[in-house]
Amino acid sequence: MNYTEPNLLTEALAQHCLELFLVGEPPWFFDAKVENDEPQNIRQAFDSLVFPYWRAHHDPAFPEAFTAALFSVLMMYPDRNRAIYVAHGWIWYYRYCIDKKRQQPDGFYVDLFEMDLSEVAVLLKSLVESNKAEMIKDTRWAGESWNSQQGIWEPMLRSSKTVRDRLNGPDYVPDNA
């Protein structure tokens, strides 16, 4: 694929639908061969669309637009748990890629954009804390019984600790863990 050609991300940007792309709302779901059901195939979408878009365009407004879209998803998306889950997933994978960039300065992510996720993390932490009971009941995605005894709460708690403790990312580990 030539990344200067229109694709799912560039179309979402052109149509001001970045938020819908982030949550995987049809038609903005990135179809990929993966083992588990997810609201958006974040890893594949990031590596196949987001990062190649950045490499091709180095759009200086993109990191801020991405952060604003995450914030908007958390504030306004009607399925609160889905919003929390995908925002968490995008932050986790972004911090994973930033960590790879730091570990391998000449590696694949050498020119990955930097973005400030601190405001998004504060909102995310607040929403995770206030939605704990609903998240424990939510057995979609990583909250399925093969992976968790407490719905999406348990896997999100594990990975939010990883973001904070191993990936040097923002702290959105809930205080009521």
Residue 154 domain-assigned?
no
pLDDT tens per residue, range 34-67 = 888 999 999 999 999 999 999 999 999 999 999 9
Residue 68 domain-assigned?
yes
Mean pLDDT for 140-144 is: 97
pLDDT band at 6 (very low <50, low <70, confident <90, very high): low
Residue 166 domain-assigned?
no
3-class DSSP state for residue 41?
coil
Residue 50 domain-assigned?
yes
In 10-56, beta strands by DSSP E: none
Q: Into how many domains does the chain fold?
A: 1
Specify the pTM: 0.95
| Contact indicator for 176, 132 with CB cutoff of 8 Å | yes
Q: Which domain holds residue 39?
A: 8-129
Helix pair 62-76, 118-130: axis angle to 10 deg: 20
Residue 40 domain-assigned?
yes
Q: For residue 83, give every residue at least 6 positions away whose Cβ sits within 8 Å of its Cβ, in sequence order, or none.
A: 23, 73, 74, 77, 127
Residue 165 domain-assigned?
no
What kind and span of H or E run contains 11?
A: helix 8-14
